[in-house]
Structure 1
Amino acid sequence: MQWKQIKTLFILCFLILDVYLLLTFLNKQSEAEFALPDTSNSSFEEQLKSEDISISADLPSGDFSASYLSLYSKKFTDEELTFFDDKENQQAEAIDEKLILSRFDNPVSIPEDADDNLIKEVVKNSILLSNNYRFGGWNKEMNVLVFFQQKNGYPIYYNQKGIVLVYLNDDNEMIFYTQTMLGNESPLEEKALVEPITAIQALFDGNRLENGDEITNVSMGLHTRIPLESGEQVFSPAWRITVNDEESFHVNAIENLIVSSNEQTFLLGAISSTIEKVQKLNKDNDMKGFVLSHLNEKLTSNQQPESEIE
C-alpha cells in the first residue's frame, strides 16, 4: 500500500515538471516572436538594401578617437603679408589684420572642365600660406571656389574664420578672393568617435537619405561646435558623408548629431560679413567699390527664400 502511494507521488511530480517545462518553452517562443527587431549593423544594412541605398565608399576602419579643438582667429603679420610684394597681378589689403582681400588686376581663367588638381595648381600660388588649405569644391550657383583651412591634416568645414573664397566672373575667371585663418590649436579631452556606419545611420534615421541614393565618399574633418563671443571657436571631429557624388552631410563624430552644412546658406552669410568688413576700407581705395559691387550683386541674385534655409 505504501509503495503504491510513493509511486503515485512520483508520477504527479513528473507531471508537474513536464507542465512547467512546457509552459517555459511556450513563454520563450512567444517572447521571440514579439521581440524588438535587431539593431545591429547587419540589420541596418538590410534596411538600406530595402530602400535601395548603397555604399560604394571605402569606409574608414579601426578604433577612432579624437578631441575637440579650441582655436582663435589668426592675425596676419607684416612679414607674412610681404608675400604679396612679388605678386605683380595682385593688390592685397589686410582688414583688421584678420581678413585678406586680394584682387587680380588681370582676371585668371579657370577651365570649365578643370578637375580638383588643376584648380589647386592654378590657385595655390596666389594664396598666402596656401599649404594650410584644401580645395573644398566649386559652387557653380554662386561661382565661388571654396578652400577649407586644415588643422592636424583635417579640413575645417564651413567656418568664416578659416577659409578662402575665390570669386569668379561670368567667364569663370578669378577676380578676387577673401582669406581668413585660425591660429594654434588647444586640444581638449580626447573622446571615442562613432564609426562611419553609425554616422550613416544617423542620416538614414534623420530622413536625409532617399530611395536609390549611393554613399560615394566618407571622410573625417572638423566642424564648428561652439562659437564664443570672445573669438574662441570650439571644433568637433565630424564625418563628411557624400551622397551621389553631389551633396555632402556632416555628422558630429562624438555626439552622432547631424550638423548644419548648407553651403549656399554659408556662402550668403560669408558674403554679408565680408561686405561689412570691406566697408571699413578708405573710400578712395581702388578695390572697395569693385568688390562691394560684385558682392552685392551675388547677394541679391542668390538670396534664398526662408523655406530653403536649414
Structure 2
Amino acid sequence: MQWGQIKTLFIISFLVLDLFLLQQFLEKQNQSQLSQLAIENEETADELKDRGIEFSDDILNMDVPNVNGINSEGIEFSEEVLSQIETLDEEEGQTVQLLENETVLRVALTDPVEVSEDSIREDIVDLVPFADQYSYWGFNEEENIALFFQKVNDRTVYFNQGGVLMVRVEEGEITEYVSTLLSFSNEETDQSQESNQLISPLNIILQLEENGEIESGDEVTAMQVGYYSFFNLVPSQDNGPQRFGPTWKVVVNGDEFHFLFATNGRILELDESSFINRTIDAFDFYENEKIEEDDGDTNIGQGE
C-alpha cells in the first residue's frame, strides 16, 4: 500500500473518531441540561406544594410544547368557506346574511333547532358547514350564548372577534348564530421557525401564586397552550397583519380560568361575559332582533 493511501486512511479514521467524540459530547451535554431542568422542575414542584397549591402528575410531567407565534393577515372567509356558505341558501328554515364586505356571517333560524348543552358540539356541525374550524369554549347562561373560538394548528385562538362563532340558545333551541374567521396563510412557515422557549407549566403556576391569582388550597386541574392577541381586527377594515402569541390557559378548581403569555409570563385579564357583550355590540347580534338587509350587505336567501 502506498504512503498516500495510508495517509488518506488515517485522515478518514481520525475524522470518524472526531465525529464520534463530538456526538458523545453533545449527548452528555443534552443529558446534563435535561437533568438540570428536572432538578429545577422538582424544586418548583416542592415549592408549590409547600405553598398549598395542588396539581396532578400529568401537569408535573407535562413537556413544554414547541409553539411559535403566528400572524393573521385579516378577517376573511376562504373561497372554500364561501362556497359552503352558499349551500346554506338551499337549506330550509333559515335566513342567511353576509355582512361587512362578506367577513361576517349571520344566520337566523326560522325553524329553531332543539339542543342541549351536552349535544351542542355535535348539533352545531349540522348547522355550520365549517364548524370544524372552531373549538367549543362553553355556554354562558346569563347571555344564552354558546361560544366557539377559531382553532389553528390544533390550538385555540382565545377571545378574538375575528375568529369566533357565537350561537344564541333560547329556551333550549338554537335560534341564530354569527361567525367570523381569521386568515392564517403562513401558519406552517411560522411553526417551522425556531421559537422562543416557553415558560414551563410549574413556573406558570408559580407566577400565578406569586401574583395572588391563586392561593393555598387551590388545585390546578388543566393546562394547555393556545394563541392570543391584544388587538381585535375590525371586520371589513384593512387592519394589516395581527400577531398572536403562544398563551397558557390554566384551569383552577375546574371552573376558574387564567391566561398568561407563554414566553414572558404576563398575566392577561380576559373575561368571557365582557367579550360576549363586546362582540354582540360589534355585530349587532342582539336578542330577538330581526335580520334586515342593509346597504353593502348580501342577503343570501331565506328558506321557505
Same fold by TM-score greater than 0.5: yes
C-alpha contact 2:89 2:96 (8 A) present in aligned 1: no
Give the distance between the partners of 2:63 and 2:49, measured in 1 at CA: 24
What letter matches 2:141 in structure 1? Answer: K
Higher relative contact order by CA 8 Å / sep ≥ 6: 1 or 2? 2
Paired residue type of 2:99: I
Partner of 2:247: 238
The answer as to whether partners of 1:76 and 1:98 remain within 8 angstroms in 2 is no
Which position in structure 1 is the counterpart of 2:143?
142
Q: Show structure 2 runs of 5+ residues with no match.
A: 1-38, 300-304
Q: Residue 260 of structure 2 corresponds to which residue in structure 1?
A: 251
Q: Secondary structure at the match of 2:196?
A: strand
2:105 alignment partner in structure 1: 100
Does the 8 Å CA contact 1:220/1:240 hold for their aligned counterparts?
Answer: yes
Q: Is the 8 A contact 2:225 2:246 kept in 1?
A: yes
* C-alpha distance after superposition, 1:273-309 (max 9, x if no partner): 1129999953699x9xxxxxxxxxxxxxxxxxxxxxx
**Which residue type is aligned with residue 151 of structure 1?**
V
Query: Which one-letter code corresponds to 1:133 in the other structure?
Result: Y
Q: What residue number does 1:181 align with?
A: 181
Is the 2:45–2:202 contact (alpha carbons within 8 Å) kept by the matching residues of 1? no
For the residues of structure 2 that align with 1:234 and 1:68, how far apart are their CA atoms?
Answer: 7
Q: How does 1:191-206 map to 2 (within 5 A)?
A: 191-206=196-211
Per-residue displacement from partner, 1:103-154 (whole Å, max 9, x unpaired)? 111222222xx43xx2211111111311111111111222211111110110
Q: What SS does structure 1 have at the residue aligned with 2:214? A: coil
Larger radius of gyration: 1
The alignment status of 1:219 with 2:224, answered yes or no, reads yes
**Which residue does 2:293 correspond to in 1?**
282
Q: Alignment partner of 1:104: what SS?
A: strand
Q: Secondary structure at the match of 1:255?
A: coil
The residue number in structure 1 matching 2:86 is 82
**1:146-157 map, 5 Å:** 146-157=147-158
Name the structure 2 match of 1:49.
Answer: 49
CA apart distance, 1:161: 0.2
State how many pairs are aligned. 243
Q: Is the aligned partner of 1:210 residue 2:212?
A: no
For residue 210 of structure 1, report the CA deviation from its aligned partner: 2.8
In structure 2, relative to structure 1, the CA distance for the partners of 1:57 and 1:186 (3 Å cut) is farther
- Aligned to 1:66, the other structure's residue is in SS state coil
Cα distance in 2, alignment partners of residues 99 and 148 from structure 1: 14
Gaps of 5+ in 1: 1-38, 288-310
Contact 1:225 1:236 in 2 (8 A): no
**Which residue identity lines up with residue 259 of structure 1 in the other structure?**
L
- Tell me, in whole angstroms, the C-alpha distance in 2 between the residues paired with 1:82 and 1:283: 19
Distance 2:131 2:275 in 1: 22
- In the superposition, relative to structure 1, how do residues 227 and 271 fare at CA in structure 2: closer, same or farther (>3 Å)? closer
Residue deviations 1:206-241 (CA, integer Å, cap 9, x gap): 211133211111111111145577243210111111
TM-score normalised according to structure 2 size = 0.71
Offset at residue 243 of structure 1 (A): 0.9
Distance 1:176 1:279 in 2: 10
Residues 64, 194 of structure 1: 8 Å contact kept: no
| Percent identity between the two aligned chains | 24
Contact 1:216/1:242, CA 8 A, preserved across alignment: yes
Retained in 2: the 8 A contact 1:110–1:122? yes
Q: How has the CA–CA distance of structure 1 residues 75 and 220 changed in structure 2, closer, same or farther, with 3 Å as cutoff? A: same
Contact (CA 8 Å) 1:57, 1:217: kept in 2 or not? no
Compare 274-283 and 178-187 and name the one that shifted more: 274-283
Distance change (3 Å), C-alpha of 1:268 and 1:79 = same
Say if 1:226 and 1:265 are closer, same or farther in 2 by CA, change over 3 A: closer
1:49-68 map, 5 Å: 49-56=49-56, 58-59=58-59, 61-68=62-69
Distance 1:231 1:87, change over 3 A: farther
Which SS does the other structure have where 1:256 is aligned? coil
RMSD of equivalent CA atoms: 2.9
Alpha-carbon contact 2:109-2:175 (below 8 Å) kept: yes
Letter of the 1:163 counterpart? V
Amino acid in structure 1 at the alignment position of 2:93: N
